[in-house]
Chains A and B, each alone.
Chain A
Amino acid sequence: MLLSWIQPRDAELLKTRFENEMQGEVSLYVFTRDDRIMVPGRPPVPYAREIVEVMQELAALSDKLNVIVVDADSEQALITEYGIELLPAVVPVDSEGKDHGIRFYGLPSGYDFATLLEAIFDISRGEAGITDEPVKERVQALANPVHIRVFVTPT
């Protein structure tokens, strides 16, 4: 690859963090679409190719991180299975392939990228990033489906 998305200095830092913080393997399902195919009326996928490149560069920094690219047009069943609402999307799953209900919509960058890293580390460790036991118990007690949408901007 001629162009790198992750700067060499950041790559070194990330490598060290992965070495120190990764326990189990994590796979990133990257749902996207070939943006060279234009279909009238269909909205373009932002950063359709870039997201694959960025995630592959990230995964190259750790032998415990894998990327699985899913083409939305040929893999409709997976889109339905994972309930993907927007493209592109990144879904981190653990070494057993378990989906933890976390989706990133759009190319994660800036603060968003840091949040993706945290999700990767948490899933790898099998620990949610919350230590407050009473809060955990209240979340565990939720009996009905809860769909949280968090709107963010990169900075």
Chain B
Amino acid sequence: MRTANAFAMISENVRSDVIDATQFPDMARQYQVFAVPKVVINDKTSFEGNLPPHQFVGHIEQVAATNGEDQR
């Protein structure tokens, strides 16, 4: 999760929310959190576990290539 925060610091376009799944069970259910850390990008793609930064940014690039964030 430090990686996500670092990305947010590097780019003004990136926002990083660190959410305690135990304190927000409804949200965790909504995002189908069964294991942590679980990373959700623009509500479109997700992965579980810690990825090295170059793989993490690869996931973001894939989503960002399509378009911005969906309105929920």
Name the residue on A nearest B39 (C-beta).
A150
Which parts of B15-72 form the interface with A (CB within 8 Å)? 15-24, 26-28, 31, 33, 36-43, 53-54, 57, 60-61, 63-64, 67-69
Inter-subunit contact B21/A129 (CB<8 Å)? no
Chain A residues, CB < 8 A from B3: 129-130
In the complex, how many angstroms separate the beta carbon of A154 from the nearest chain B beta carbon? 7
Task: Pick out which of these stretches binds chain B: A3-11, A32-40, A63-71, A135-143.
Answer: A135-143
Contact digits for A110-142, partner B, Cβ 8 Å, 1 yes 0 no = 001001001100110001111010111011101
> Contacts A129-B6, A151-B37 given: A145-B68 contact, CB under 8 Å?
yes
Name the residue on A nearest B57 (C-beta).
A138
* Dominant secondary structure of chain B at its interface with chain A: mixed
In the complex, how many angstroms separate the beta carbon of A21 from the nearest chain B beta carbon? 15
In the complex, how many angstroms separate the beta carbon of B40 from the nearest chain A beta carbon? 4
Q: How many A residues touch the partner, as a band?
A: 35 or more
Partner of A101, one of B12, B21, B31: B12
In the complex, how many angstroms separate the beta carbon of A51 from the nearest chain B beta carbon? 10
Q: How many residues of B contact A (CB 8 A)?
A: 47
Name the residue on A nearest B59 (C-beta).
A148
- A146–B4 Cα gap in the complex (Å)? 10
In the complex, A149 has a CB within 8 A of chain B: yes
- A104–B23 Cα gap in the complex (Å)? 12
Inter-subunit contact B69/A147 (CB<8 Å)? yes
Name the residue on A nearest B42 (C-beta).
A147
Inter-subunit contact B11/A142 (CB<8 Å)? yes
In the complex, how many angstroms separate the beta carbon of A63 from the nearest chain B beta carbon? 23
Inter-subunit contact A105/B18 (CB<8 Å)? yes
Which parts of A84-101 form the interface with B (CB within 8 Å)? 85-86, 100-101
- A91–B40 Cα gap in the complex (Å)? 19
Which residues on B are within 8 Å of A, measured CB to CB?
1-24, 26-28, 31, 33, 36-43, 53-54, 57, 60-61, 63-64, 67-69
What are 11 A-to-B residue pairs whose CB atoms are below 8 Å? A100-B9, A102-B15, A102-B16, A129-B5, A142-B61, A146-B13, A146-B15, A149-B40, A150-B4, A151-B37, A152-B21
